[in-house]
Amino acid sequence: MANKQSEKRLCKKCNNSRDLFVVTYDISFLAIIDYQVLKELLLFMETTVQGVSGAQASSHEIVMDVRDITKSLPLGRERIEILKGLSFQIQRGEFVSIVGPSGSGKSTLLGIIAGLDNPTTGNVLIDGVDIARMTEGKLAVVRNQKIGMVFQAYNLIPTLTAQENVEVPLYVGKHKGSPAARAKELLDLVGLSHRLGHRPSQLSGGEQQRVAIARALAADPPIVIADEPTGNLDARNGEKVLELIATLRDQTGKTFIIATHDQNVASHAGRTIRIVDGLIAEIDSTGGRIVQ
């Protein structure tokens, strides 16, 4: 029902639309729409998506509990085992890096703990609620309320300004205050108050990644997950983005989880989970930086 109505609105609007683009944000849908239509669609979704019972913030110190997850996929007549049984816990306020060679399963793991993909077996508890086998509707709410995502290739919407990109998550779910004011506040926090009206093509790679980080923080999620956030940046800009993440972690008390194949990037985190061939090879907690 919800899909039919939203499709109808889209078609009606898109007939008159001058500025079409592809939106892949939040990733449970792909649509060609313009900014006004996007706002309307997301407001419409807000009225149709129910809250996730029991997913409110709790006083548990463990924000994420990953229990023996596996992931296998069909490949021809065989099945390829990508994750082979990983368990770990992440405490509220930690900055954790997930490291491992290319192909070891980092992105697959991040997709699962971010609720973008399901494990084949096992559980992922976020604030005590298992997201491993939730319906797509409930998962979308969890993603919006609990998780901010940052991608290697930034994934900003090319026809929106920096400010509009940061506003996008605020049109999903219930969020207090003005999206524009919140977006400006966050862009100020990441040092981009002078770039509010710039589109992604008018920003440097480092600036685009800072917009993406501001967008990840927009809905005030307790967890921010970043897949190779410095992968497309030169050393200097990569360093700046990592410093920003560490500062934001200290200022906001949010939990940051980043995947990287770069040991130098990983060393910025307080704890490192090393994955080799779909298994945890080592958890290094020597630098545990947990917000008290």
100 lines the binding site for ligand ATP (CB under 6 A): yes
107 lines the binding site for Mg ion (CB under 5 A): yes
Minimum distance, C-beta of residue 284 to ligand ATP, in the bound complex (Å): 18
| Residue 105 site contact among ligand ATP, Mg ion, none (CB < 5 to 8 Å, cut-off depends on kind) | ligand ATP
Sequence-distant (≥ 6) Cβ neighbours of residue 22 within 8 angstroms: 30, 31, 32
Minimum distance, C-beta of residue 134 to ligand ATP, in the bound complex (Å): 21
Put the strands of the sheet holding 62-75 in their side by side order.
Answer: 78-91, 62-75, 121-126, 129-130
Element (DSSP H or E) covering residue 2:
helix 2-15
Beta bridge mates, 97: 258, 272
104 lines the binding site for ligand ATP (CB under 6 A): yes
| Residue 100 site contact among Mg ion, ligand ATP, none (CB < 5 to 8 Å, cut-off depends on kind) | ligand ATP
Sign of CA pseudo-dihedral 170, 175, 177, 183: negative
Nearer to ligand ATP, 107 or 145 (CB): 107
Question: How far is residue 288's CA from residue 245's CA, in Å, rounded to a whole number?
Answer: 16
106 lines the binding site for ligand ATP (CB under 6 A): yes
Closest CA to 58 of 134, 145, 143: 145
| Residue 288 site contact among Mg ion, ligand ATP, none (CB < 5 to 8 Å, cut-off depends on kind) | none
Question: How far is residue 97's CA from residue 70's CA, in Å, rounded to a whole number?
Answer: 20
Residues between 70 and 89 that touch ligand ATP (CB under 6 A):
73, 75, 80, 82
Q: Write the DSSP symbol of residue 34.
A: -
- Among the listed ranges 54-62, 106-114, 203-211, 244-252, the one in contact with ligand ATP (CB under 6 A) is 106-114
Minimum distance, C-beta of residue 71 to ligand ATP, in the bound complex (Å): 8
Question: In the chain, what is the greatest distance between 2 CA atoms, to the nearest angstrom?
Answer: 58
Residues binding ligand ATP: what is the number (CB under 6 A)?
13
Binder among 6, 97, 107, 144 for ligand ATP (CB under 6 A): 107
- Among the listed ranges 7-15, 95-103, 160-168, 239-247, the one in contact with ligand ATP (CB under 6 A) is 95-103
Residues between 229 and 268 that touch ligand ATP (CB under 6 A):
261
Helix and strand numbers, DSSP H then E, in the chain: 9, 12
Contact, 207 vs 233, CB < 8 A? no
Sign of CA pseudo-dihedral 10, 16, 19, 20: positive
Pairing of strands 271-276, 129-130: unpaired
Nearer to ligand ATP, 54 or 103 (CB): 103
Nearer to ligand ATP, 10 or 275 (CB): 275
Nearer to ligand ATP, 17 or 72 (CB): 72
Contact, 211 vs 192, CB < 8 A? yes
| Residue 108 site contact among Mg ion, ligand ATP, none (CB < 5 to 8 Å, cut-off depends on kind) | ligand ATP
Q: Is 262 helix (H, G, I), strand (E, B) or coil?
A: coil
Q: Is 152 helix (H, G, I), strand (E, B) or coil?
A: coil
Nearer to Mg ion, 107 or 165 (CB): 107
| Residue 54 site contact among ligand ATP, Mg ion, none (CB < 5 to 8 Å, cut-off depends on kind) | none
**Interface with ligand ATP by CB under 6 A: which residues?**
73, 75, 80, 82, 100, 102-108, 261
Binding positions for Mg ion, rule: CB under 5 A: 106-107
